[in-house]
Structure 1
């Protein structure tokens, strides 16, 4: 074997080892720097890594196992699987690049506080096989079921809202509806392909005590009760 061939093989081997042993921190660096996603540490490789104490928008999710699909890279897309440990039923697949971006197969039940997003609501949210996939900044696929059980000091505590996401006019939309004391509560969630979101909570009731409690939480009175709308970017 010539020296040139040996050097070429050595370089190829080093590149291959670098890819195989690439630390998961390279994959999650952007996530860790986000104001919405945080974690205490990351270990392992991009193919089989671990993220510790993950929090999204201030809401703790726990430890996650992470793995990048090598087959998806051949199509120009990054397909990243996340699974909470030790709960195998808490999982999601993130899609990035290629022709589609978003999430698939989101199954998760976790406490949530929407105060950081601008709504004075907290409780437990559950996602069942939820998908939100965008192509060219338009909603391509939406499915699954979302449930929100409200708790805390809100006049809406105890309300259970649920609904199924759909693509509507290029926007991922989910309308969660449920009874609330003497009325009905509706939470409309809208997310576009640029990561902008709108949350609108509407409460239809004639219970003046509830309405006054909602007004004290920043809601505005309307013709059927009270509502509040917030907007932001993911």
Structure 2
């Protein structure tokens, strides 16, 4: 028993503290206050143990959420830039997602939902799911413009033709994650709620914010040269079919 608490040469000892169950925030505060208390001790004191490791793990995961999200946005932007070789085309699909990530943080604050190792991944999750919707919308718009449609007509056709599929995809995702809201485990319940909210915001932004951005940046998406070449190709095909 003695060896469990005192080293053989007697220069090191272990003091065990039994604490009642605490929430993550309470445990973080307890560990912080304990470290402050022993800081002025006339000996070298280290606060350690499973509780401290848990606090450090949660701290590392939650505090790194901004960095993870920024890195994710950067990687997606670079991938789109590599594919499109056009800054506007690479920027447009992720712009609504950036707004959603910002709104998500505000919603969590007003709902009193704390960041956990699971909810800290919401930014990356929304980035992956939301970008898929916005890219499909942008691609269809470009196709309609190259077929000779005006900007307003092109966006209306785009929304009407792929809107149903996009909404269906979003609703099935919402339905799947909404099951988590029935969990008695608070962390999972909060994660399910915020995922449902974020995917809903992604759908709204895809059909409201994105079309506006696309129309405003149309001249940066499709050059006059591309439109003229597409028109010439249509005329050539029409002539060949005529004869």
Common fold, TM-score beyond 0.5?
A: no
Higher strand share: 1
How does the TM-score come out when normalised to structure 2?
Answer: 0.30
Structure number with larger C-alpha Rg:
2
How does the TM-score come out when normalised to structure 1?
Answer: 0.31
